């Protein structure tokens, strides 16, 4: 079996994926693209990703679609963090170590579900929604994206213009000035929406309560906490 030395331990070749590109979308968020190998996944799932053999990895949602030839991840560099800082310095030709995929943050019957889908995320919490939209182009969806600065819309061109709303908290220049919960108060969710929440726990719990108060049943609210 082929093994590649990375950090302290040798890693099985089927867990190693060659890095093809690292592209910075803002000063602290980057997209890392790597070879897919034989990895099969459903949009919304995540993997454990890390520097080969380092023995430290973190969960990252897959950003690319189910049928894409490569795997993409959208990662925010966390100041003082271990893995998000290590991965940032990857170069094409390097390898990352991937285990997985995992998770139930998925759309069960995307081809047969005509209900409105509301994707609510902060920062890189938009990653699983990007995978949904890439994988299921027929979906009735709206992305509500909470960010601090207008430049953090990442790949907004990948969403239909009328299906993406940025909620920018710290400056003008987005589709909405304020937090995403303020946007949702002014633009309440349809009661039959299937709502997906992704990002930090505080946003998820505040948004959950808000959606419940707007009449969305708890069974129709799914969440994925990043931190």
Residue 102 CB, nearest approach to ligand FAD (Å): 8
> Shortest gap between Cβ of 112 and ligand FAD (angstroms)?
26
Exposure string for 134-157, b = 16+ CB within 10 A, e = fewer: bbbeebebbbbbbbeeeebbbbee
Stretch of 1-9, 76-84, 93-101, 178-186 contacting ligand FAD, by CB under 6 A: 76-84
Nearer to ligand FAD among residue 88 and residue 116 (C-beta): 88
- Candidates 61, 135, 153, 193; binder of ligand FAD (CB under 6 A) is 61
Cβ partners under 8 Å of residue 158, min gap 6: 130, 133, 134
Secondary structure letter of residue 134 according to DSSP: H
130 binds ligand FAD (CB under 6 A): no
**Contacting ligand FAD (CB under 6 A), which of 31, 34, 43, 83?**
83
Q: For ligand FAD, how many residues bind (rule: CB under 6 A)?
A: 21
Residue 46 lies near ligand FAD (rule: CB under 6 A) = yes
- Residue placing its CB nearer to ligand FAD in the complex, 58 or 179: 58
Q: Would you list the DSSP string of 98-116?
A: EEEEE---S-S-GGG--S-
Of 13 and 85, which has the nearer Cβ to ligand FAD? Answer: 85
Nearer to ligand FAD, 126 or 189 (CB): 126
By C-beta, is 104 or 192 nearer to ligand FAD? 104
CA–CA gap between residue 72 and residue 124 (Å, rounded): 13
Inter-residue contact 8 to 53 (CB < 8 Å): yes
Q: Applying CB under 6 A, does 227 fall inside the site for ligand FAD?
A: yes
Binding of ligand FAD by 64 (CB under 6 A): no
Q: Is 141 in the site for ligand FAD (CB under 6 A)?
A: no
Spatial separation of the C-alpha atoms in residues 198 and 61, rounded to whole Å: 10
Q: Does 166 bind ligand FAD (CB under 6 A)?
A: no
Question: Which residue shows structure tokens 């390097």?
Answer: 94
Distances (CA, A) of 199 to 15, 34, 57, 59, 90: 27, 23, 19, 13, 24
Q: How far apart are CA 64 and CA 69, in angstroms?
A: 9
Of 13-21, 119-127, 137-145, 165-173, the segment contacting ligand FAD by CB under 6 A is 119-127
Distance (Å, rounded) from C-alpha 100 to C-alpha 62? 11
Token pair of 214, please? Answer: 């707007």
Residue numbers of the site for ligand FAD (CB under 6 A)?
A: 46, 58-61, 73-76, 78, 81-85, 123-124, 127, 224, 226-227
């Amino acid at each position: 079996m082929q093994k590649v030395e990375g950090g302290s331990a040798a890693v099985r070749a089927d867990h190693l994926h060659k890095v093809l590109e690292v592209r910075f979308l803002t000063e602290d968020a980057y997209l890392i693209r790597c070879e897919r190998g034989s990895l099969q996944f459903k949009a919304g799932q995540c993997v454990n990703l890390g520097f080969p053999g380092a023995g430290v990895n973190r969960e990252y949602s897959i950003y690319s679609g189910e049928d894409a030839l490569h795997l993409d991840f959208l990662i925010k560099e966390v100041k003082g963090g271990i893995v998000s800082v290590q991965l940032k310095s990857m170069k094409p030709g390097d390898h990352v170590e991937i285990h997985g995929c995992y998770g139930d943050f998925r759309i069960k019957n995307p081809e047969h579900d005509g209900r409105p889908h509301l994707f609510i995320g902060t920062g890189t919490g938009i990653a699983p929604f990007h995978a949904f939209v890439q994988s299921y182009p027929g979906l009735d969806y709206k992305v509500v994206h909470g960010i601090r600065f207008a430049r953090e819309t990442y790949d907004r061109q990948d969403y239909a213009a009328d299906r993406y709303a940025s909620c920018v908290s710290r400056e003008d220049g987005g589709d909405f000035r304020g937090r995403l919960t303020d946007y949702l108060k002014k633009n309440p969710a349809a009661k039959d929406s299937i709502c997906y929440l992704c990002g930090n726990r505080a946003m998820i719990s505040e948004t959950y309560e808000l959606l419940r108060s707007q009449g969305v049943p708890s069974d129709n609210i799914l969440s994925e906490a990043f931190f």
